[in-house]
Amino acid sequence: MNNSPLLKIEELRTYFYSRTKQAFIRSVDGVDLEVNKGDTLGIVGESGSGKSVSMLSIMGLIAARPGIITGQVWYQQEQARINLLAGLQDHVQVSKNDGRIMSVEKTDLAWQRRLEKNMLGIRGKEIAMIFQNPKSAMNPFFTIGHQIVENITRHTQYKSRKEAKERALYWLERVKIDSPQLRFYNYPYGLSGGMCQRAMIATALSSEAKLLIADEPTTGLDATIQARIADLLEELRAQTGVTIVLISHDMGVIGRLSNKIAVMYGGRVMESGPAQAVIDHADGKSHPYTEALLKSIPREDNMSSQGHLNSIDGEVLDTINVPRGCRFASRCQRINKSIEKMCLNEEPPLATVSDGHKIRCWHFAGV
Amino acid sequence: MTQYAQTQTTVSEYSELSILQRTDKRDIAYVVYGIVILLMVVCAYLMAIFGWLPHDPEEMQLELMLAGPGAPGHLLGTDFMGRDTLPRLILVIKAYFVPGLMYIAVAILLGGIFGILSGYYGNKYETVVTYITNIIDSFPRLILMLLVVAAFKPDIYYIMMVLGVTNAPLVSQLIKGKISMLRQKNFVESAIALGIPDARIIFKHILWFNCRSYLIIQATLGMGEAILLESALSYLGFGVQEPTPSWGNMVQQGANYLLQGQLWSSTIPAMAIMFTVLGFYLLGDGLNNMLEGKRQS
Amino acid sequence: MMVSRSAKPVVLYLTRELYVTFFLLIGVSLVVFAVLYSAPGDPLAAVFGGQVLSDAQREEMMRNLGISNTWYGQYWSWLVKLFNGDFGTSLRSGQPVLGEVTKLAKNTFYLTFGAMFFSLMIALPIAIYLAKRGTDRLGWVLMMFAYTTSAVPLFWSAYIVIYIYTRFFNTLPIGLATGESMNFTQMMLPVFMLGLGSGIISETVRFLRDEISRVFSEDYVRTARAKGVSVWKHALTEALIIPVSEMIASKIPFVIGGAIIVEQIFNWPGIGRMAWQAAQDRDYPVIMCITLVTALIVRLTSLLQKTLYVIVNPRASQETKTS
């Protein structure tokens, strides 16, 4: 038994080329993350921070073209440790100074082919994914049962129809769908959003994947149902030991489910570490962006003196013209004269401030 | 290796870019080609009505029948009666002009009425309009034209009338789609709430401000279709009748000699049709992409 | 997978569509009647009882047949006649029209649907290529090819093909009507020419390209990719089956129109050629019958497409219930 992390992301970059602007949109720009077996890693950030795109990149599911991914994603299989993005760097030219992508091949065909080859046997089997808006993420032309059975016969040892069906019903029961025998034959349009999300979780888990990436699984659902889905995920994690990467802009959901948290901004990880350290400031240190995010959770003590909810001032980062210095500098509340020069001119490193707790801020870089 | 590279000098905001900067270069090329064709057509029309023709279109040179392009004195060759092809090609535009305009007017008028009834006035009319447009769509165009030709007389105006009517459903659908899009943005509702009279909303705000580009695109596409259809009918003997030349009957007359190996006299007008129709198609498509692109941003 | 889906909404939907088709056909008959009624030269009388020369003759004939003078009375008598399968007799051959038309309709049917198949065989790969690769250099060439097929006069390109054919084989690829036996190429040439030249390829390519790229960016297709299962299996229904069937249903009138020309050029004994002949001879009963028959074919194709749609799309019957 080795102790290497299940998933280790190094220098992940996902750029989209904008033909009209003739420039790269740097959606994900050098992300480093680790996910250990059995953990629940919560990735939080505003929309446009690159949290979803980074996880879609790992699965090779980037749809908008021309988009390009580089970096290393080490996935620990039973015996071997494989790089999901192996060979992709051959198709891009990377800057020697800061590692950003300078140019890519115009036809992404070879690149796409390589990616599909890398993903063979990984998607669905090793890493499963669930999405937001479950009603549109389930195929409207197939029954729920068919979509689960398909996954089971493809990825597990239950190859016969009968076995697979039994197994599918078992999973439908596990995700607490009422009368699974009936739901098995239902189409997604007949189900509520919450029910659909349960069905999708059942589909994802039915392949017995080791890692589940949940991309905003509660977004777009009613508040009460959000809580139930969150409970269900927690319960399933405890029972099956599946590792979860949870993406959300909702600090509440993240705080409730994850034991590790990464905060992303402008395509970069700004802070990462154990949940206690990031949310509860167990070590007394925090990133200004995280602080601002926490303050914007709708809670009574977060109201300003006028009774308004706190919000983060300023615009979301322009990911084409990325500033030279810290990405958050323009909106940062904690910026002061003594470090201003540093903040505006050089990007801070991700510095370790306490056990496993890393912060990308000049306030802590010198420590 | 062709590459996408960061050519970043200063990237201005998307909204500050002009349409030309924002659109695919290919679409611009399409539109430019289409406009060149359109200008040529306009030139030809002017030449035809003022009689500035490079050669007498009626003069027959029997010793030079079915000559290929580049024959002495005849840039594009001659037809089966030894008449010069080029001035006849130009003269055609005049014959097309009024029927073409009439067809587009009928299509847009009828389609506009249908579209506004079903899109603006809604449910009650929608069923009726759908019913009528479905009936129109049931007829193969050419068969309906043959019926009308047989019942009335083989006349280009009758044919263009039928073409206009059969194209009305498409126009109606476009306008209806546009109106329902505007409704989704509460554009129509807010206009009504402001007390603007219906007629003004329809004509000024819907048709003029929001549909004119669509209608222009539809008209250009329609012109191409009309030219093709005329050529088909000419082949069947119901198109523009001799002695008035039309591209259709020129191809048709030339085709009689085609199997004997005399390719040119039909190929030249056929090429004229092809390049013109292609120009109209590309113009319509390029404009559509450019304007759609604008909407997406 | 249509396991144990309740059949009721489907049946309801189809019954409704059947009603709609029926009323549309009534509308179609009204249009045809209106043309015949308002035209000079008594086409309606020709349908009722053959050629008449004067108004007096016409009056007498109508009286003998017991047909009223009002337009609705005449329409009713005409409709009843049609429902009895009596479309009049051809002024040219003196034979009952319906029998002649249905005999030849078979040939046109083969020609049109064969051509449709060819068109799709050409358009589909281009559309898929454009949707998957975008308009790169080859894609651009393919797109231009598709446009060009729709911009060339069909009869001219058919003549060119015949010319090339005669050069190679020293025989004309025409003459099915003359009863000569034809080889396979001779049979396929008209079908292929119509498929290429009926002008539907460019629109089909554009429509299918847009549909395919739209469906491939749908959330559920991404889910299928994330599951590691066949993406095409998931996208098939919405990206291919539905748009292709829609395209067939909406473009069949155009192909029938093109068939008139191709039948003329290749001497193919179908109703297109017959319609042309009838239009020249002012053989009103024949052209009327052909108009009605082709409209019927169009409506039935549309009905078939709706049926297919409701079968493959479980939401379809739901949609109609709410609307």
A11-33 residue pLDDT tens: 898 888 877 777 788 888 889 99
Q: Which chain C residues are within 8 Å of B27, Cβ to Cβ?
A: none
Contacts of B among chains (3+ CB pairs under 8 A): A, C
Q: Do B143 and C299 touch (CB under 8 A)?
A: no
pLDDT tens track for B45-80: 888 888 777 777 777 777 767 777 776 666 777 777
- Split into its structural domains, chain A has a count of 1
* Dist CA A50 CA A69 (whole Å): 13
List residues bridging with B203 in a β-sheet: none
Dist. CA B213–CA A261, nearest whole Å? 51
Each residue's pLDDT tens digit, B102-136: 999 999 999 999 998 988 887 788 889 999 999 99
Alpha carbons A337 and A340: distance in angstroms, whole number: 5
- Taking CA–CA distances from B297, the nearest residue in chain A reads A20
Closest among A74, A62, A84, A76 to A17, alpha carbons compared: A62
**Is it the case that residue A320 has pLDDT exceeding 70?**
yes
Residue A151: pLDDT over 80: yes
**Phi and psi of C134, rounded to 5°?**
75, 180
pLDDT of residue B15: 40
Mean predicted confidence (pLDDT) in C130-146: 88
Contact (CB<8Å) A23/B17: no
SS3 at position B201: helix
pLDDT one-digit tens code per residue, C81-109: 888 888 888 888 888 889 889 989 988 99
Is residue B281 one of the residues assigned to a domain?
yes
Preceding peptide of A66 cis, ω within 30°: yes
Q: How far is CA B131 from CA B118, B165, C20, in A?
A: 11, 14, 9
pLDDT in tens, B204-219: 888 888 888 778 888 8
Cα A130 to Cα A124: distance, rounded to the nearest angstrom: 10
Give the C-alpha separation, B216 to A90, whole Å: 48
**Cβ contact A103–B4 (<8 Å):** yes
Residue A252 has what pLDDT? 84
Residue owning tokens 């020129």: B250
> Is there a contact between B281 and C291 if contact means CB atoms under 8 Å apart?
no
| CB-CB under 8 Å, B149 with C279 | yes
Min Cα distance A87 → chain B (Å) is: 18
Q: Output DSSP code: residue A62.
A: -
Q: What is the CATH number of the domain that holds B211?
A: 1.10.3720.10
What pLDDT, on the 0 to 100 scale, is given for residue C7? 60
Question: C226, A140: Cβ pair inside 8 Å?
Answer: no
Contacts of A102 in chain B (CB under 8 A): 5-6
- Asked if residues A273 and A287 have their Cβ atoms less than 8 Å apart, the reply is no
Judged by a CB distance cut-off of 8 A, whether residue B6 touches chain A is yes
The answer, yes or no, to whether residue A164 has pLDDT greater than 80, is yes
Contact C227 A124 (CB under 8 A): yes
pLDDT in tens, A211-229: 999 999 888 888 888 889 9
Phi, psi of A97 (to 5 degrees): -70, -60
CA distance C264 to C242: 33
Give the best-scoring range by mean pLDDT among A99-113, A152-166, C58-72: A152-166
Give the chain C residue whose CA is nearest to the CA of B234: C155
Residue B286, both tokens: 């390029």
- How many domains is chain B built from? 1
* Cβ within 8 Å, pair C222-A63: yes
- Shortest Cα–Cα distance, A362 to chain B (Å): 28
Instruction: Tell me, yes or no, if C202 comes closer than 8 A to chain B by beta carbon.
Output: yes
Q: Which of B143, B230, B247, B250 to mutate to test the interface with C (most CBs of C within 10 A)?
A: B143
B5 part of a folded domain: no
A25: nearest CA partner in chain B: B6
Nearest Cα to B129, choosing from B94, B168, B82?
B168
User: Is A161 part of the contact surface with chain C (CB cutoff 8 Å)?
Assistant: no
Q: Are C90 and C164 in contact (CB under 8 A)?
A: no
Closest to A17 measured CA to CA, from B2, C235, B128, B275: B2
- C179's CB contacts (< 8 A; 6+ apart) are none
- Please check whether residue A123 touches C, CB under 8 A: yes
Distance between CA atoms of A203 and A212, rounded to whole angstroms?
11
Which pair of tokens denotes residue B219? 């008209």
pLDDT of residue C321: 43
Span A262-313, pLDDT tens digits: 999 988 999 999 988 888 887 888 888 888 888 877 776 776 666 666 777 7
Pair of tokens at residue A36: 């250990």
Interface probe with A: pick from C227, C309, C311, C315, most Cβ of A within 10 Å:
C227
- What's the gap in Å between the CA of A170 and the closest CA on chain C? 19
DSSP B151-186: HS---HHHHHHHHHHHHHHHHHHHHHHHHHHHHHTT
Question: Cα separation of A34 and C232, whole Å?
Answer: 34
Instruction: Output C308 or B262, whichever has higher pLDDT.
Output: C308
Determine, for residues B11 and A22 on separate chains, whether the beta-carbon distance falls below 8 Å.
yes
To 10 degrees, the CA torsion angle through A177, A183, A188, A191? -60
Q: Tell me the count of B-C CB pairs closer than 8 A.
A: 149
Residue type at position C140: W
Instruction: Tell me which chain A residue has its CA closest to the CA of residue B22.
Output: A20
ipTM, 2 dp: 0.88
Q: Are C120 and C244 in contact (CB under 8 A)?
A: yes
Q: Is residue A319 part of a domain?
A: yes
How far is A108 from A114, CA to CA, in rounded Å? 10
Q: Is residue A133 part of a domain?
A: no
Contacts of C312 in chain A (CB under 8 A): 141
Whether A261 is in a domain gets the answer no
For residue A136, give the nearest of C219, C234, C312 by CB distance: C219
Between B138, B248, B277, which is nearest C24 by CB? B138
CB B230 within 8 A of CB B286: no
Q: Which of A123, A150, A189 sits opposite C315 (nearest CB)?
A: A189
In a domain? residue B236: yes
CB distance B64 to B78 below 8 Å: yes
Cα distances (Å, whole numbers) of residue C134 to B52, B82, C126, C149, C209: 46, 48, 11, 20, 9
pTM: 0.87
What are the backbone dihedrals phi and psi of residue C225, each rounded to the nearest 5 degrees, phi first? -65, -40
Show the domain range for A274. Answer: 270-365
Measured between beta carbons, the chain A residues lying within 8 angstroms of B7 are: 22-23
Q: Three-state SS for A273?
A: strand
Out of A119, A133, A151, closest to residue C229 by CB: A151
Better pLDDT: C246 or C267: C246
Residue B3 domain-assigned? no
Give the pLDDT confidence score for residue B9 in this predicted structure: 38
Residue that the structure tokens 């009722």 belong to: C48
Is B297 an 8 Å CB contact of chain A?
no
Q: pLDDT tens across C174-187, in order?
A: 655 455 556 677 77
* C-alpha atoms less than 13 angstroms from C-alpha of A306 in its C-beta half-sphere: 3
Position C322 pLDDT exceeds 50: no
Residues of A with CB under 8 A from a CB of B: 17, 19-24, 66, 93, 102-107, 320-321
Q: Which of B287, B291, B283, B286 has its CA nearest to residue B35?
A: B283
Supply the range of the domain harboring residue B185. 25-53+66-292
C window 135-154, beta carbon within 8 A of B: 135, 140, 147-148, 150-154
Quick check: helix, strand or coil at residue A206? Answer: helix
Q: Binning pLDDT at 50, 70 and 90, where does residue A171 land?
A: very high
- A192: which strand partners? none
